[in-house]
Structures are given as structure tokens and as C-alpha cells.
Amino acid sequence: MFQCIERKVNELKTDVKNPSTEGMPICRLLIFAVRRSAFKTVTRMDHLKSDEQYMREAYREALLALGRDEVPVGAVIVSRGKIIARGHNLTETLNDATAHAEMQAFTSASNHTGGKYLNECTLYVTLEPCPMCAAASMWVQLGEIVYGASDPKRGYSTLNASLLHPKTKVRGGIMAEECGKLLSDFFKRKRL
């Protein structure tokens, strides 16, 4: 019985992976482990909730592009939980093939921070970035990219996955269906 408890406690110590648990009484260790797992759950849920909230804002930007009869792609840049920049595709409006949502957002974010590097920022964009925007994210040393729909034809990951800054983290698939449908509906209407 005692050996069984001892084993459980050792498992718990390994699980919580914290040197401060060394010598901690069993009851405090249990409280510590429960609090820690609760904290993990809360932060994970917050993170997911935030991802969707921020992607929803990027989606709103995509709708602004759609309102201008532009390919509906939108982006926001988040720093320390706050949206510091927004952008949507303006290639037709500006008669500039490089005026992608991400490029607008990078420039706006740098203007906001007063620095050219965005290593503490996360880009939320409704479509996987193209190679140009992926390379731009390397130049600004972007912290993280979170995208909605994948772009198997023109996305950077198909054409050249090594374009990003080595420290840039990437996640995809947030609101992928909605973001992708906005684009496919747009192109369907254009073909009619």
C-alpha cells in the first residue's frame, strides 16, 4: 500500500516537473498538481478562444476586401493580446499586385510599434501566406503566423517552406472552412 502511494507521488512529481516540489508533503503536492493542471486547461482554452476571436477579426478584414470586389483575404497583427494592425487585400484598389493583406498589416504594425521587427507579434491571416508574404514575415522576424485556409496552389508551404524566419512559429486551420468558403464563393461568382 505504502509503495503504491510512493509510486503515485513520484509519478506526480515527474508529471509536474518542478524542482520546487522536492520534499513537498503529499497533500500540498496534490493541491499543486491540481492547480497546475487547472491552470493548463484554462490557458489552453483561453488560447483557443483567442485564436478564434482574432481570426474572426481577420475575417472581418476579408469582408472589407470583398466589399471592394477584392480577393477576400484579411489579416490582423496581435501583440501582447491586443490587435495593433489590420489589413486586407488591396491589389485592385491600389493597382498593386503586391498589396496583399499581410503586407498592409506588416507596415501598419511597424508604424504602430516604431520598430521594424515584429518578433513579439502574431499574424492572423485568413489564407495561408504566399511566398512573397512569407519572405516579408522573415524580414520582419515575425513571432508567429496563424492562418485559416490552406492554399495548396500558391501557399508558401507548397512552393518554398523554408522562406520563414527560423524562429517563426506556424499554425494553420483556424476557421479554415469559413475562410476558404469566402474565397471559393468569390471565385465562383467571378466565373459566372
Cβ proximity to Zn ion, 24 vs 142, nearer residue: 142
Contact segment (CB under 5 A) with Zn ion among 104-112, 124-132, 140-148, 166-174 equals 124-132
- Residue 62 binding Zn ion, by CB under 5 A: no
102 a catalytic residue: yes
Q: 146 in helix, strand or coil? A: strand
Place of cell 511597424: 110
127-130: Cβ within 8 A, 24+ apart? 127/73, 127/151, 127/155, 127/179, 127/183, 128/155, 128/156, 128/157, 128/172, 129/100, 129/102, 129/155, 129/156, 130/100, 130/154, 130/155, 130/156, 130/159
Cβ proximity to Zn ion, 31 vs 159, nearer residue: 159
The phi-psi region of residue 69 (left if phi > 0; otherwise alpha if psi is between -120 and 50; otherwise beta) is left
Least distance between Zn ion and beta carbon 78 (Å)? 19
- Residue 88 binding Zn ion, by CB under 5 A: no
- Residue 75 binding Zn ion, by CB under 5 A: no
Cβ proximity to Zn ion, 64 vs 132, nearer residue: 132
Q: Which of 102, 120, 128, 178 is catalytic?
A: 102
Least distance between Zn ion and beta carbon 111 (Å)? 19
Least distance between Zn ion and beta carbon 103 (Å)? 7
Q: 144 in helix, strand or coil? A: strand
- Residue 130 binding Zn ion, by CB under 5 A: yes
- Residue 125 binding Zn ion, by CB under 5 A: no
Q: 83 in helix, strand or coil? A: strand
- Residue 133 binding Zn ion, by CB under 5 A: yes
Binding site for Zn ion (CB under 5 A): 100, 130, 132-133
Q: Which residues are catalytic?
A: 102
